[in-house]
A and B are shown apart, each in its own frame.
Chain A
Amino acid sequence: MRDVKKIELILLGIMVFVFVFMSFLSKQFLNVSTLLQIMQLSAELGIMAIPMTLIVITGGIDLSMASTLALSGVIMGYLWLFGLNIWLAAILAVVFAGTAGLFNAVMITKFDIPPLLATLGTWALYRGMATGIDQGRGVSGFPQGFLKLGEGTLMGIPYSLLIWATISIVIYFIVIKTRFGRYLFAIGNNETGALYSGVPVKKIKIIIYVLAGLLAGLAAVIYTSRVGAAKSNADANGVLGIVAAAVLGGADVKGGSGTIFGTTIAVLIIAFIDSGLTLANIQQTVQEVILGIILVGSIIFYEYVGKSKIRYSLTLQRDSSEEGDTKSSLPTESEVNNTRRS
């Protein structure tokens, strides 16, 4: 168990620190429109990190989301190219993405394939299908009305940001205030115990993986609209960012802990670092290295903070490893025999 409140506070602190640091690194950073733009750029990451957090809370993972994004984007592009109304195409793409999520869910719940492997498979499968359909051509030239979604603003705030914020807030409340939220934590902490307590384990899992698909589809629509093109290599390394955001946000890959607020702050932290570095003209590759460091670093950090902070988790660790710790430094048989004689 992790101390969620503490993690959220720490993350807020880190965010402020990164923010201040980046504004020293680059003067443009402190500009409201730049900031909004930065956040707009991370809307897709932010949207996808939300269902990822739910999945991680249950002890699962979905590696296929960025591939789903690419595939559903491409499908939308081609549907439009073949004459369908762009909005209808967008809706169909989201529905399709949901189906992709359902496929993951079926593998995981019906055939008991570990989520890591199931979605590693579809990570390759969906990306491969996207490449197969698109053959590297890409679709562009979408109507102006559609491009507005990715670029337009409402009272100065980008649409995509509004969508992201709405989803975050809604799911934040679902997690902390509803039955569904409780179920997630129960599953992540002890799936058998949850099942025996009447938690509809399979149903909940299906819902979250389908939600992951649907939101990846939504992200695909926003992405395509923002970039102005549907292509199979869209969000090519996206999975790294999504997992990093959830994990930095305090979700425990072992299951049972996680917070939407933390994840959202984590997305902002990652976004600030990313764009701060870009604005300061630091190479793209460095940014990937940094994401990797964030991912590994935060896992170590939380393990450490978790241990020193909550005394309980110390004894928990002890409890589960008490038998495993002991090595073969045991009294030999003859020693015991000696004592028997005496």
Chain B
Amino acid sequence: MSEMLRLEEISKSFPGVRALKNVNFSLKRGEIHALVGENGAGKSTLVKIISGVYKADSGRIFFENKKVKIDNANDAVFLGISTVHQSLVVFPDLTVLENLFIDNYSSSKGLIKWKVMREKAVHVMNEFGIHLSLDQEARTLSAPAQKLLQILRALLKKAKVLILDEPTAALTVDETELLFKNVKKLKNRGIGVIYISHLLEEIFQLADKVTVLRNGEVVTSQPLSELTLADIVKNMIGKELRSYYPKRESKPGPVILTVRNLRKGILKNISLKLRKGEILGIAGILGAGRTTLAKVLFGILKPDKGTILLNGKEIKIKTPLDAIDNGIVYVPEDKQRQGLILRESVRFNISIANLKTITKHGILDLSKENFMVNKAIHDFEIDPPFPGFQVLHLSGGNQQKVVIAKWSVRNASIIIMDEPTQGIDVGSKSQMYNLMSMFAKDGKAIILISSDFNELINMCDRIIVLRKGMVSGELDKSEFSIDKVIYLSTK
């Protein structure tokens, strides 16, 4: 196999952070090369250098054995490098079709040729088995569908090198499987794939070679066959990780939340009960209505029908503020857009949700704020640990921690988590699980929406499976098995 892409001695610093230090990396034709590492290890930065978003401070890039300069995204695409970035890049007001060709309009004499583009789009969708309705506005797509859109956009470019930066973080099982099939297909066509994921099982399913980054340095780069899962984890975090999921003794208390006959959009008649100290899992596939349910409970969407009771008393949740005042908080699925104010600092993001606790008569108590923020940064090991750091420039996983941190500060009684561990590294994940189990132990109730069935089975006391907006089954801890969950979500 010949070499497609080679990076030599790549370094990159940001103010206060050395993101990459003398990184060497090579990708062969038809190779699936996994890039793994903790949050903030520098994976996305490396990808951004290859795809021309950032310029390396030093180092050389060779493409098909020729030294090249990649100064902007255009250069990379011209060489044949196509990238699916970690953050969702869709234009919400444009249609799917417009989004697909946003950087690649077919035109003749300046006129856009919609028909040609539509045909191309249909062709590629058929080829890869990914189906989206082309005339739908992107804003109306769910987060997984938006990710598929982004992936399609990259596939349309017919590149020689495809880079996927945590593509499955926003996908559910079915789409992930579909993506894997397609990635393998591309590999067989001789395309080189750089694949980033925190889900090491995926790496074992896909990769030929693994490069581990730690603190911006390559720790190892070996064929997958020479590595075990434990090796990879150890290389990633520099120590061995013993237990992944915490041992939980479940002692559910009295019912805290009751939902009766809830209807909204896709949701048809949902009823459920949530107990204090319980972790209730919500499983289901794309379009099952899990996020809709969360949004209704958090006051983003108004239910068409149904009642919500908190501690036996009916409550009306008209806005998120109502929900929060009732002790219900939500860690949204689309963290970047809904969970964070990206242009603001870590401090701003953590305190915005907790201003009432750090103000007196509306006036901010800055020392209280500093204390609260520093504690959150410390507790969640947000890195770099600067309160003034712009959230936009945190690594994906650290952004996630900020979203969760901002709520944990508050004394919520019900925490709804929508895919909370998507995109965070093994270490932080197990940290997150410990946190959940601690929350539950404190008597808080947790609703855990997740597409990771392992996670559900290991963390929950009970799992409710949704299918097409209805409860298709409920499993008690003693009945848990992945097969049952899959069966109930798809039967």
Hey, which bits of chain A sit against chain B, CB under 8 A?
1, 177-180, 182-183, 185-186, 189-190, 192-200, 202, 256, 311-312, 315-316, 318-319, 322-331, 333, 335-336, 339-340, 342
Contacts and interface: CB of A to CB of B under 8 A. Distances in A.
Nearest to B393: A312
A67 B215 CA distance: 59
B199 to A, nearest CB: 25
B73 interface: yes
Nearest to B80: A331
A182 B353 CA distance: 10
Interface in B319-356: 319-321, 323-324, 330, 332, 337-344, 348-349, 351-353, 355-356
B341 A189 contact: yes
Interface of A is mostly: helix
A331 B161 CA distance: 12
B53 A180 contact: no
A119 B324 CA distance: 33
Given A315-B54, A340-B190, A185 B348 contact: yes
Contacts of A315: 54, 393
A179 B392 contact: no
B339 A331 contact: no
B320 A336 contact: no
Interface stretch (B227-235, B358-366, B460-468, B471-479): B358-366
B248 interface: no
A331 B158 CA distance: 8
B339 A193 contact: yes
Nearest to B53: A322
Given A196-B332, A326-B77, A179 B320 contact: no
Given A196-B320, A315-B54, A324 B362 contact: no
Nearest to A190: B341
A329 B54 contact: no
B73 A326 contact: yes
Contacts, number: 145
B245 interface: no
A227 to B, nearest CB: 37
B355 A330 contact: no
Contacts of A195: 300, 319-320
Given A256-B343, A316-B392, A323-B73, A198 B337 contact: no
A198 B80 contact: no
A182 B351 contact: yes
Interface in B17-40: 29
A339 B352 contact: no
A250 B257 CA distance: 47
10 contacts: A177-B364, A193-B339, A196-B320, A198-B323, A316-B392, A319-B87, A326-B73, A326-B77, A335-B80, A339-B80
A192 B295 CA distance: 13
Interface range on chain B (Cβ under 8 Å from partner): 35 or more
B105 A180 contact: no
Which 4 pairs show the lowest CB-CB distances between chains A and B? A326-B103, A198-B324, A197-B353, A179-B355
B393 A190 contact: no
A319 B77 contact: no
Contacts of B343: 1, 189-190, 256, 316
Given A185-B344, A196-B338, A330-B104, A312 B73 contact: no
Of B78, B103, B341, the most chain A CB neighbours within 10 A belong to B341
B344 A186 contact: yes
B344 A330 contact: no
Nearest to A326: B103
B363 to A, nearest CB: 5
Contacts of B72: 325
B409 to A, nearest CB: 12
B60 to A, nearest CB: 22
Contacts of B79: 331
B223 to A, nearest CB: 23
Contact of B363 (A177, A189, A200, A324): A177
B89 interface: yes
A330 B364 contact: no
Nearest to A327: B74
A315 B53 CA distance: 8
Contact of A192 (B51, B338, B362, B392): B338
Nearest to A176: B364
A194 B341 contact: yes
Contacts of B352: 182-183, 186, 194, 197, 199
